[in-house]
Amino acid sequence: MKRRFLAAALLCATTIFTSCSLGAPEMAGSIAYAKGGVFAVRQGRRVALKAGDHVRAGDRVETDESGAALMDLHNGLGIAEVQPLSVFLVRSAKRSGADLSVLGGNVWLKVNKLAKNERLDLQTPTTVAGVRGTCFYTFTVGDLSGTCQCEGKTSYSNTVSGQVIAHDQDSITFTRGGRVVVLAAADLAKFGLAHHHSVLDESPIGPKQDLDPKAFRAMMKLVEERFTK
């Protein structure tokens, strides 16, 4: 009996040691709210997500046309609103910072203020951003991708042209290929635009979208005019 007990104890200890050596999957965050189709793609499998589910580092959070989710980033780094038909990848999320990617669609992200030794990097299809405590909205409009700087300041590098631009609060950057157009606060004031980017009724990041279609068309006309210059 004693020998069997010792053998079982040894097997248990070996299993625990092996698990610790391999390392448990790094937590990247958790789903605070989900509606419609929200999924995690991990190790080639697509898993439906609901409120309370954990998201692991390396998971691609995807939404279908009816889906939207609020994701709390690990260690209190911030919160992301992943909107319909979007793909959001969290490569890592630690107290020292995070490595995030918006692979498609629209994501509204609020990052809590980071310390000097902390950093958050965000990649979009056309830019790489170094973030330190701010709020911004990344989006896709046709063949354009862009970022609205809602709060703070972020440094962006265009992955096609290599151009580096510092974006201040209340500016929107549009990218097409290697070209960049920036609308400053004075431009946005002409259209009466505000930072209302949510698709949810009560998002903790901010108000629901209420963009006037006429104002949106006027803004996009100005953007296209600047791209042709």
| Interval 34-57: pLDDT, tens | 999 999 999 889 999 999 999 999
Residue 198: phi and psi, rounded to 5, are -75, 150
pLDDT of residue 6: 42
Mean pLDDT over the full length of the chain: 83
pLDDT of residue 95: 62
pLDDT of residue 19: 38
Q: Does pLDDT of 12 surpass 60?
A: no
Q: How confident is the model at residue 166 (pLDDT cuts 50, 70, 90)?
A: confident
Domain ranges of the chain: 22-228
Mean pLDDT, residues 207-215: 91
Give me 82's structure tokens.
Answer: 């992943």
Q: How confident is the model at residue 109 (pLDDT cuts 50, 70, 90)?
A: very high
Q: How confident is the model at residue 11 (pLDDT cuts 50, 70, 90)?
A: very low
Q: Does pLDDT of 180 surpass 50?
A: yes
What percent of the chain is modeled with pLDDT above 90? 41
CA 113 to chain centre: 16
Q: Does pLDDT of 74 surpass 70?
A: yes
β partners of residue 87:
62, 104
pLDDT of residue 23: 52
Mean pLDDT, residues 2-11: 43
Give me 153's structure tokens.
Answer: 């300041």
CA gyration radius, the chain: 21
Q: How far apart are the first and last CA of the chain?
A: 86
Please give the model's pTM, rounded to 2 decimal places.
0.83
- Cα(199)–Cα(108) distance, integer angstroms: 10
Please, are residues 41 and 60 in contact by the beta-carbon 8 Å criterion?
yes
Mean pLDDT, residues 104-124: 84
DSSP 74: G
- Cα(137)–Cα(94) distance, integer angstroms: 22
Query: How far is residue 78 from each of residues 32, 59, 152, 154, 223, measured CA to CA in Å?
Result: 12, 17, 14, 16, 31
| Helix extents (H) in the chain | 2-22, 185-190, 213-228
- Enclosing H/E stretch for 182: strand 179-183
CATH architecture for the domain at 22-228 = Sandwich (2.60)
Q: How confident is the model at residue 75 (pLDDT cuts 50, 70, 90)?
A: confident
The answer to whether the Cα torsion of 81, 127, 187, 85 is positive or negative is: negative
Burial of 28 (0-12, 13-18, 19+ CB in 10 A): buried
Mean pLDDT, residues 194-212: 93
